[in-house]
Amino acid sequence: MILDKEHAMLQKLYRQFAETEFTKELLEELEETGEFNREIHDKMAKYGFMGVKIPKQYGGAGGDYLAYALLIEEFARVSCVLSIYANTSNSLGGGPLMLAGSEEQKKKYLPQVADGSKIMGFALTEPGAGSDAGGMTSTAVLDGDEWVLNGRKTFISGAPFDDWIMVFAQTDPSQKGSRGISLFILDTKLPGVSFGAHENKMGIIGYPTSDLIMEDVRIPKDCLVGELNKGFSYAMKTLDGGRLGMAAQAVGVAQSCLEEATKYAKERKQFGRRIADFQGISFMLADMATDVEAARQLVYHAAQLKDANSPDATLACSIAKYFAAEAANRCAYKAVQIHGGYGYIKEYKVERLYRDARITSIYEGTSQVQQMVIASNILNKIK
């Protein structure tokens, strides 16, 4: 795809910002502390990155899915974890509200999410409900004018510093499976809300992840988002777009692997010549370049389908996520391999890329879940 002038300029902006602001010192600090860096979050917000996909009438920039995918790709090319900073508001956090929120809810919450003054998270997964999100046990019971929430959500990115969290809970246990689930906006400052310990993650370090615990949390009745018992479909639709973002993130990580490996292969000399001149190495670089480009085109194509509201968008997003995440893992493996022993040392960027790449084939639908989505679409489509 040849980007039009607007998207090409956005790509230039994202790249310029990431290359200038995501300094070596900042990336090291994130790795060392594992803490959320408010300063870089605020800087991203200042230039409008938090609201790329949020409509203009709610304080965002009103960009499309392609504008969003380019953002995540360019940020992830420099830092996978920092791409998450700008992702949440445009994707899992702001997404369900944009999808199902009432006009009043959108006006109340989205402008503050778009300008970065508030952070909104997403809580679907539970200890016993991962890929099978319909198996959740968290409950919401109406008591007068309030919903009473109970349950435990797990692997919630940003939970400890989220201001609001989009929470899914069972509202009608008599309905089986994914039916009977509803979506709520939870204010994390309310009594009964607490968080588990920070997960000690392999990668994407610098954006804390923890459990969200809800014990008799009372939220106003109007915190229900969308229709009662329709929550699961909102979750799936949100994850459609989320998958596109994570596919773009995988492309960014893979691109970075390619760049690092190429630079190193040209610099490193063995047997009297640079290792890039050995066919074994150069073919690995060729495979990586092919993987990156194929993944990128799948992502951009899926973004265009989403923007066109195409019925094929769900399939395209899953294909893009599946391919790009696996490509990122292949590229990370090769990048470390080309670096040899140095690739196993933390001082080299590929060590971090290797760990960061691993998550892309796990979160927002594992590669196997994507295969299930792809297969079921194909089985229905081809008669």
Partner 1 sequence: MKIFVTVKQVPDTSGKVAVKADGTLDRASMQTITNPDDLNAVEAALTLKDEYGYKVVAFCMGPPPAEPMLRELIAMGVDEAVLISGREFGGSDTYATSQIIAAAIDHYGIEEDDIILAGRQAIDGDTAQVGPQIAEKLGLPQITYAGDIKKEGNTLTVKRILEDGYMMIKVQTPCMITCIKELNTPRYMTVSGVLGAWEKPLTIYDYPTLQDHPLIDKSTIGLKGSPTNIYKSFTPPQKGVGTMLKGDGKDTTNELASILAAKHII
Please report, as ranges, the residues that interact with partner 1 according to CB under 8 A. 5-6, 9-10, 12-13, 16-17, 47-49, 51-52, 56, 61-63, 67, 267-269, 342, 347-348
Cβ-based neighbour number of residue 256 at 10 Å: 26
Q: How far is the CB of 47 from partner 1 (least distance, A)?
A: 5
- Which amino acid makes up residue 86? A
Q: How far is the CB of 247 from partner 1 (least distance, A)?
A: 21
Helix (H, G, I), strand (E, B) or coil at 120: strand
Give the whole-angstrom CA distance, residue 266 versus residue 117.
Answer: 45
Q: How far is the CB of 251 from partner 1 (least distance, A)?
A: 20
- Nearer to partner 1 by Cβ, of 6 and 216: the residue is 6
Q: How far is the CB of 379 from partner 1 (least distance, A)?
A: 40
- Nearer to partner 1 by Cβ, of 104 and 347: the residue is 347
Q: Are strands 139-143 and 146-157 parallel, antiparallel or unpaired?
A: antiparallel
Residue 293 bears catalytic tag: no
Structural tokens at position 19:
């290359």
Q: Are 254 and 291 in contact (CB under 8 A)?
A: yes
Give the whole-angstrom CA distance, residue 259 versus residue 251.
Answer: 12
- Nearer to partner 1 by Cβ, of 51 and 158: the residue is 51
- Nearer to partner 1 by Cβ, of 181 and 275: the residue is 275
- Nearer to partner 1 by Cβ, of 2 and 382: the residue is 2
Distances (CA, A) of 196 to 8, 171, 362: 42, 24, 21
Structural tokens at position 281:
């190495």
Q: How far is the CB of 62 from partner 1 (least distance, A)?
A: 6
- Nearer to partner 1 by Cβ, of 49 and 109: the residue is 49
- Which amino acid makes up residue 33? T
Burial string for 203-238 (b: 16+ CB within 10 Å, else e) reads bbbbbbbbbbbbeebebeeebbbbeebbbbbbbbeb
Q: Which of 73, 126, 260, 364 is catalytic?
A: 364
Q: How far is the CB of 224 from partner 1 (least distance, A)?
A: 31
Distances (CA, A) of 55 to 16, 59, 190, 368: 24, 7, 28, 33
The catalytic site residues sit at 364
